[in-house]
């Protein structure tokens, strides 16, 4: 029997290899980094023990080197891998839609547009970074990711990304959302992931939190502690964060880059004012950082308004200081607007906005006066969400309703011809029980 010629044997394709399909030129080729244009650098993350700026070795147990490099880079543009662009092409570019019917319903003389991220397979903007993070982990040989999630949009998105890239995912979901939003858990499980209610009995951090308050509704800070603990103990696992960190803001910049192109195609010189919901900061940054960068480089005058829940007002009432990103104090110290790592917000429907702190880059931009912030009450947000749905046909995610509410208040008295852009970060199809009290 002859021996097979191993030199000509086919090489098995890896999940990270490009498929070789044509990607439309309208899908961004690079991510944009606001750090390149900021007048002052964002304060560095600090080691929780030494209080010294973090080095790559400090982050290596949790993140792949490519993401660590992106966390600290000051390059204006970072190339998007072809495999990631091929996946993006499933839904990108997302549409920028003129809200003619909403304009009529409000009696507004402004021109209102909304950037709709609910067209992604997971129904929100979160896959923009989930796919990138899963890709870089898979390239480094990591087979398992752990993470936290509030409303479940991030958990579902990372589960989607892991399924597409041949990985497994374990998610800790804030208890109040886990109980109120079972369909998000089903979505994660359909993609092959495991979802736990947080705090849980599965981790030291979770057991300590439950011992302190058995009836706690949970928080993103608690869920982060559990996910980080599990990843740190497993050499084959890494942790993945859906917001807050610089590399997440970078990946989400595809949203705002598309807005700039789409506004020009619509015949608009610039957006006059942009409203985005803000919890950890990823949607707001993705939508607005490319526009803020244009302001800084080209002298445009787009005004950015961060819209956060009044129940968790980190930007409007938090202190700008170093704080941990989690309750147990396992994460680095981040310079951010914070309500304190032990703050447990009320169990509002916008679970994705229930975070005690704000992304360091968003916090820094606010501190520099590059954006402003408003706090929106839940009742006002949902009433606006209902009116938007009845005018435009899309039911916004509870998180998005905060931006919708602030934009609608502004639009009623906006000057004629003003260009308003709303970040519609996701759809609310899996959050319909939250609308029950408002219809």
CA separation for the pair 133, 70 (Å, rounded): 11
Lowest mean pLDDT among 128-132, 247-251, 352-356, 374-378: 352-356
- 177 compared with 33, residue with greater pLDDT: 33
362 CB-contact burial (10 Å; exposed 0-12 / middle 13-18 / buried 19+) = buried
Domain count of the chain?
1
Banded pLDDT at 85 (limits 50, 70, 90): very high
pTM above 0.85, yes or no: yes
* pLDDT score for 95: 98
* Assigned domain for 235 exists: no
Which domain CATH number covers 340?
3.40.50.1100
Backbone angles phi, psi at 357, to 5 degrees: -125, 175
In a domain, 86, yes or no: no
State the pLDDT confidence band at 266, using cuts at 50, 70 and 90.
very high
Average pLDDT, the chain: 94
The 10s digit of each residue's pLDDT in 110-134 is 999 999 999 999 999 999 999 999 9
Range of the domain at 325: 93-124+252-428
Q: Has residue 164 been placed in a domain?
A: no
Q: Is the pLDDT of residue 305 over 70?
A: yes
Question: Predicted confidence band at 151 (pLDDT cuts at 50, 70, 90)?
Answer: confident
Instruction: Yes or no: say if 218 and 149 are a contact pair by the CB < 8 Å rule.
Output: no
3-state secondary structure of 67: helix
Average pLDDT over residues 71-94: 98
Percent of the chain past pLDDT 90, that is, above it, reads 84
The span from the CA of 79 to the CA of 77, in Å, is: 7
The answer as to whether 77 is a domain residue is no
> What is the reported pLDDT for 351?
65
Cα→Cα distances 64→47, 159, 232, 240, 426, Å: 18, 18, 13, 10, 28
Convert the pLDDT of each residue in 11-42 to its tens digit.
Answer: 567 889 999 999 999 999 999 999 999 999 99
| CA distances to 36, 279, 388 from 306, in Å | 21, 9, 19
Tell whether the model's pLDDT for residue 208 goes beyond 60.
yes
Q: Is residue 222 one of the residues assigned to a domain?
A: no
Q: What angle do CA 129, 130, 135 make, to 5 degrees?
A: 100
- Could you tell me if residue 293 is inside a domain? yes
> Considering the domain boundaries, does residue 295 fall inside one?
yes
Asked, for residue 287, whether it belongs to a domain, the answer is: yes
User: What's the pLDDT score for residue 12?
Assistant: 60
């Amino acid at each position: 029997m002859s021996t097979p010629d191993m030199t000509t044997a086919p090489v098995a394709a890896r999940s990270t290899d490009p498929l070789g399909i044509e990607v439309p030129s309208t899908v961004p080729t690079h991510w944009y980094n606001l750090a390149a244009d900021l007048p002052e650098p964002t304060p560095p993350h600090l080691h929780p023990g030494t209080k010294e700026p973090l080095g790559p070795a400090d982050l290596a147990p949790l993140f792949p080197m490519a993401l660590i490099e992106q966390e600290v880079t000051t390059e204006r543009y970072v190339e998007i891998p072809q495999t990631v662009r091929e996946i993006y092409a499933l839904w990108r570019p997302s549409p920028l839609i003129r809200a003619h019917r909403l304009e009529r319903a409000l009696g507004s003389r402004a021109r209102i547009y909304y950037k709709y991220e609910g067209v992604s397979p997971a129904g929100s903007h979160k896959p923009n970074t989930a796919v990138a993070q899963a890709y870089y982990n898979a390239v480094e040989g990591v087979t398992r990711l752990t993470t936290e999630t509030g409303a479940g949009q991030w958990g579902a998105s990372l589960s989607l990304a892991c399924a597409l890239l041949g990985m497994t995912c374990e998610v800790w979901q804030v208890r109040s959302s886990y109980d109120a939003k079972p369909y998000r858990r089903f979505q994660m499980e359909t993609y092959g992931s495991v979802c736990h209610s947080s705090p849980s009995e599965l981790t030291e951090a979770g057991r300590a939190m439950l011992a302190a308050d058995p009836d706690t509704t949970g928080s993103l800070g608690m869920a982060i502690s559990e996910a980080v603990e599990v990843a740190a103990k497993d050499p084959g696992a890494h942790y993945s964060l859906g917001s807050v960190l610089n590399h997440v803001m970078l990946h989400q910049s595809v949203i705002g880059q598309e807005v700039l192109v789409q506004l020009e195609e619509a015949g608009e010189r610039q957006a006059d004012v942009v409203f985005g919901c803000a919890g950890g900061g990823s949607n707001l940054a993705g939508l607005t950082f490319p526009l803020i960068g244009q302001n800084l480089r080209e002298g445009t005058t787009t005004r950015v308004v961060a819209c956060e829940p009044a129940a968790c007002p980190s930007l409007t009432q938090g202190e700008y200081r170093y704080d941990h990103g989690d309750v147990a104090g396992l994460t680095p110290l981040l310079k951010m607007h914070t309500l304190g790592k032990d703050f447990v917000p009320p169990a509002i429907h916008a679970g994705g906005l229930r975070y005690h702190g704000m992304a360091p880059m968003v916090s820094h931009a606010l501190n520099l006066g590059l954006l402003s912030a408003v706090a929106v009450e839940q009742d006002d947000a949902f009433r606006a969400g209902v009116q938007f749905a009845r005018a435009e046909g899309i039911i916004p995610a509870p998180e998005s309703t905060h931006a919708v509410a602030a934009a609608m208040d502004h639009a009623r008295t906006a000057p004629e011809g003003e260009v308003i852009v709303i970040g519609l970060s996701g759809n609310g199809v899996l959050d319909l029980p939250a609308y029950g009290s408002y219809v």
